[in-house]
Amino acid sequence: MENTKKRFKRRQSLFKTDAWKRFKKNKLALLGTAVILIMILAAIFAPVLAQNDPYISLQEGSTILKNMSPSESGTILGTDSIGRDVFSRLVYAARVSMSVGLVAVGISTVIGIVLGSISGYFGGVADMVIMRCVDVVNCFPVMFLIIIVATILEPSIYNIMVIIGLCNWTGTARLVRGEILRVREMEYVQAAVSLGASDFRIIFSHVIPNVMAPIIVEATMQMARAIMTEASLSYLGCGVQLPTASWGNMLNEANNLATLTSRPWQWLPAGACIFLAVLSINFIGDGLRDALDAKQKK
Amino acid sequence: MGKYIRKRLLQAIPVIFGITILTFFIMKLAPGGPLTGMISPRTSSESIQRAMEAMGLNKPIIVQYWNWLKELLQGNLGYSTYNGQAVLAQILERLPATLLLTVTAFVLSFVVGIPLGVYSATHKYSKADYGLTVFSFVGISIPSFFFGMGLIYIFALKLGWLPTSGFGSSTFRGEGLALVLHKLKYLIMPAAVMSLSNIATVMRFARSSMIETLNQDYIRTARAKGLSEKVVIYRHALKNSLIPVITIFGQSIPNLFGGAYITEKVFAWPGMGLLGVDAINNRDYQILMGLTLFTAILVLLGNLLADIMYAFVDPRIRY
């Protein structure tokens, strides 16, 4: 008896699990993980990495160093139209993108799990109402909804996180509902029911842990989408507001022909950062899908 | 079949209601309400009161919703808080340009995406398949504004092949074919930007659907009969693998319209998206609401059409 308990309790180290072994084989996913880790580290250590304050125009004597190329200004990526250090802003903007991505996905995943499990587990009227709500939200081009709410509310970074989170739960809800419908009839759930476990306990300690893999994959893909949405909003001017730097609003500032033609350091790095972040997370998501789904072997 | 369509239509009714309710209450969140554009600091409180009564703003919210809904059914989407013009008229004025762009992007994404996906599936795990898979990741990951700026930089500014933005030059005096070609030059880059992520999505979907079809028993039968690979793939597998791709029809419509904001801003394309971007800058909530409602209904119709098409193509679908 003691022995079995111990055996059940013993957890494998993460790096020895089958899932990790499968994940490791996917080179693109590993590359993505490395890029994202670097970005997260850069975001955390932004004050150390940035040579100059991202909000202050650099000056030499009394002249402001506007629109200076990297070699002219002596900074890594030159300066922007009012003389701020582009590299410093880029590093600080990583904080915005990473935190918006994580928080928004946290919110939408929680909502999705709760509504999806209610809908799938109880069925009936609750299911009907929730699924029609999903239809309504899905019918809105989510971008429109987010733009309006972001325009109406003060467009602060916290509002952006919440809005993106509140508008993106439908995918997870549908997924959880489907999984629960599948798992609900399984014997271990029937066993829990016959032992008199409460609905709450059955859902959260028996059903959800068993449908966690697809939820994690979905959350990863959603993080990529959330980062892209924040960048788009900031590009359109209803996202993160100046002077706070975000990769999207850096591109917005640079969106004129003069900058496009002659000052590529003001827009290429910011665009490349969004692209790399989203691409890496998508690679990770793909790797996780293959790694966590044991049934789908190649 | 008829029963399915009827059921699907009935299902759309609560969704339409949901859309109007959501839209109405978001509009109520807007600071100042519909009077903002008409009030100056010198407006007396009595005249504000009068205006509110005239517009029914002092009634209970349910009554306000009902009145708003009645106006809506008569095609009145309200008036811009910025310039006082009717919202619907402004949207309809911009609709053709946006439709031209979205329909082009829509057609492009299937015409390009499906063959690429089928090629990828029939050459599974080859170098080309690997390359196309990476391309599809790039396609869904690249921000459209960044891609657009890159295209402008290369094709308009460096090479000078295409115009940077807009839809036709005001000094152009050609007619007929020359005019079409002239306009086409302006359409190329925005349509490319708008369709890229959709091409990638359609391609991945077509690939996995084709792979799944190729594993079916009837394909094995066809091969066992000694049919050539060409006939197996193009006559037996292709048609069946395309059925699930129809679902992407419905899904890609909201993405395309949502993408219009960004693409139209990058290329100064005179459509609904640009109207929306201006409305964001002017804090013109009525226009934004009108745009949302209008697109939501377009999207709903699109989804309905996709579902009905699906039922026509796939007789297994029953409700």
How far A62 CA sits from the closest chain B CA (Å)?
Answer: 34
Residues in A whose CB is inside 8 Å of some CB of B read: 28, 132-133, 135-136, 138-145, 147-149, 151-153, 224, 228, 231-232, 235-238, 248, 251, 254-255, 257, 260-261, 264, 267, 271-272, 274-275, 278-279, 282-283, 286
What is the gyration radius of the CA atoms in chain A, in angstroms?
23
* pLDDT tens, residue by residue, B201-231: 999 888 988 888 888 888 888 888 888 888 8
Residue B106 touches chain A, beta carbons under 8 Å: no
Other beta carbons less than 10 A from residue B28's beta carbon: 13
Pick the range with the lowest mean pLDDT from B20-29, B88-97, B227-236, B309-318. Answer: B309-318
Asked whether the predicted pLDDT for residue B39 surpasses 80, the reply is: no
Distance from CA of A83 to the nearest CA of B (A): 22
Q: Reply yes or no on whether the pLDDT at A136 is more than 80.
A: no
Smallest CA-to-CA distance from B109 within B201, B234, B187 is with B201
Task: Identify which of A146, A229, A155 has the alpha carbon closest to the alpha carbon of residue B26.
Answer: A146
From B72's Cα to the closest Cα of chain A, the distance in A is: 18
Between A132, A143, A231, which is nearest B143 by CB? Answer: A231
Q: Which of A94-108, A249-263, B15-29, B158-172 has the highest mean pLDDT?
A: A94-108
pLDDT of residue B142: 92
Number of inter-chain CB pairs under 8 A, A vs B: 141
Chain-chain contact of B29 with A286 (C-beta, under 8 angstroms): no
Q: How many CB atoms lie within 10 A of CB A112?
A: 27
Helix, strand, coil shares of chain A, percent, nearest 5, are 75, 0, 25
Mutation target to probe the A interface, by most A beta carbons within 10 A, among B22, B82, B149 is: B149
B303 to A139: CB separation less than 8 angstroms, yes or no: yes
* Nearest CA-CA distance, residue A288 and chain B, Å: 15
**How does pLDDT run across A78-122, given as a tens digit for each residue?**
777 777 888 888 888 898 889 999 999 999 999 999 999 888 888
CATH architecture of A24-52+73-291: Orthogonal Bundle (1.10)
Where b means 16+ CB within 10 Å and e means fewer, B181-220 reads eeeeebbebbbbbbbbbbbbbbbbbbbebbbebbeeeebe
| Res. A10 pLDDT band, cuts 50 70 90 | low
Which tens digits make up the pLDDT trace of A207-235?
888 888 888 888 999 999 999 999 998 88
Is the Cβ of B288 closer than 8 Å to some Cβ of chain A?
Answer: yes
Each residue's pLDDT tens digit, A251-275:
888 877 777 777 888 888 889 999 9
